[in-house]
Structure 1
Amino acid sequence: MCSQTNLLKDILNIYLKRILIQTEWNDTFLQYLSEMGELHENQKNLKEINMDHMPIITLFGYLEHLMIDTIWKLENFDIKKKRAAIQALNKFFWIQNNLFTMYYRLSLKENSISNGINGKK
């Protein structure tokens, strides 16, 4: 369990560094966000990083809360900069949550079809 926790911490650390220093939302960055959603999807990837949907989305909510709190406390940002930063952060988390949810739903659909649920085999 400890090695899995350390692996997940390392992945989260790399992920946060990548998103926080990103200055341009180009196709490469959006592909990276999509790959992060697909990476945590249950069927196709390593068991070491297999996480259920709810804990990931909860983690995103917690991270967003911490980041918003940090932005509000910045003394060198006026209210206009704070508002813009929070709006950008909120948009980012909505996009990332949607990508995770999309892959999670695809995984559920594939599982139900492969397991013969809904009368299909």
Structure 2
Amino acid sequence: MAQFYRRPMMHFDRRELYTDLETRVRYLHSFLDFSTRDIEALTTGAKYIKALIPALVNIVYKKLLQYDITARAFETRSTSYEGPVDMNLNEQSPQILHRKMFLRAYLTRLCSDPTKMEYWEYLDKVGMMHVGQGRIHPLHVEYVHIGVTLSFIQDVLTEAILSHPRLKMDRKIALVKALSKVIWIQNDLFAKWYVRDGDEFTEDRLVPNIEPEGYLHGKKILRSGSDSESEIEDADVMTGSCPFKNLATPVASAAYAVGAAEAQTADKQPTPPSPMAPASPTISLSAIPRPAAHVVAGSA
């Protein structure tokens, strides 16, 4: 009788999943098969995502302001507040413009180098900052609103990418898959601050430092509002005024605008992509090291 062999079972230490971010990120990458293919798709597709960011930010905040329970967080800093909400709050209100600036910077950050551990550390810090930790002025946003907002962002990006008039289908699929994995990893790095799983290891967790928004380990990693916009509106991608403002359908229009901008530069000699930056010495996310395998007896 032919022998049947099961694949070696991967082992991750449960305690480390809750106390060591690097281990958790490795586990998520391994399970989702986040690999060099995804990194390449994100790197080559970054300019398309950046071009969508201004429209995406407006779409997201228009959605958040449609519901009193999400809108109240911009005034009270808590979605659990049950009192009255300013009915005059709108997309041009100072606090909304301020939050839009940070969402633009955050989405631009998603287009940076995912081979660096710092990339994932900041995604984890974004989760931590929404549960009232690590901020001078605490912010409390309940997880139900976080989850649906991430899903909404994923939905808008997916439609815009798949509607792009010039990208080949294989590139569209690769970019959608890579972005989906990043968003679901971000979702987990939110959930880890909300769920009670692993509470028995609380004493082993690092105590978060209180830092200004946009900082990580005392270093400013998000650009200011003006810098962020100038980066998003890169001359190679978008020229002149925002092409989204006079178009009826935000998502499809954003994809069309990217294609139009690309067409304007189609006659130019393309610049070869720069080589990937080397991975952080503490973690190689482009070639995830496999932890020690535990072989499961499987001979029949």
**Superposition TM-score tier, normalisation by shorter sequence:** 0.7 to 0.9
> Which of 105, 127, 135 is matched with 1:37 structurally?
127
AA aligned to 1:96 is Q
RCO higher in 1 or 2 (8 Å CA, sep ≥ 6)?
2
The yes-or-no answer on 1:100 pairing with 2:190 is yes
Aligned counterparts of 2:182 and 2:101: Cα–Cα separation in 1: 21
1:53–1:104 CA contact under 8 A, matched in 2 = yes
Distance 1:8 1:105, change over 3 A: farther
The yes-or-no answer on 1:9 pairing with 2:103 is no
What TM-score does the superposition give when structure 2 sets the normalisation length? 0.33
Residue 41 (structure 1) shift: 1.5
Q: Which 4+ runs in 1 deviate beyond 4 A?
A: none
Partner of 1:88: 178
What TM-score does the superposition give when structure 1 sets the normalisation length? 0.75
Aligned counterparts of 1:36 and 1:28: Cα–Cα separation in 2: 12
Larger helix fraction of residues: 1
Percent of residue pairs identical? 24
More displaced 10-residue stretch of structure 1: 23-32 or 78-87: 23-32
More displaced 10-residue stretch of structure 1: 96-105 or 40-49: 40-49
1:33–1:99 CA contact under 8 A, matched in 2 = yes
Aligned counterparts of 1:38 and 1:58: Cα–Cα separation in 2: 18
Deviation per CA, 1:28-48: give whole Å up to 9, x if none: 101111111111123553546
SS in 2 for 1:49: coil
> Which of 158, 164, 170 is matched with 1:74 structurally?
164
Aligned counterparts of 2:185 and 2:103: Cα–Cα separation in 1: 17
Q: Where does structure 1 lack aligned partners over 5 or more consecutive residues?
A: 110-121
1:38–1:100 CA contact under 8 A, matched in 2 = yes
Deviation per CA, 1:76-118: give whole Å up to 9, x if none: 2111101100100110111000000001125xx6xxxxxxxxx
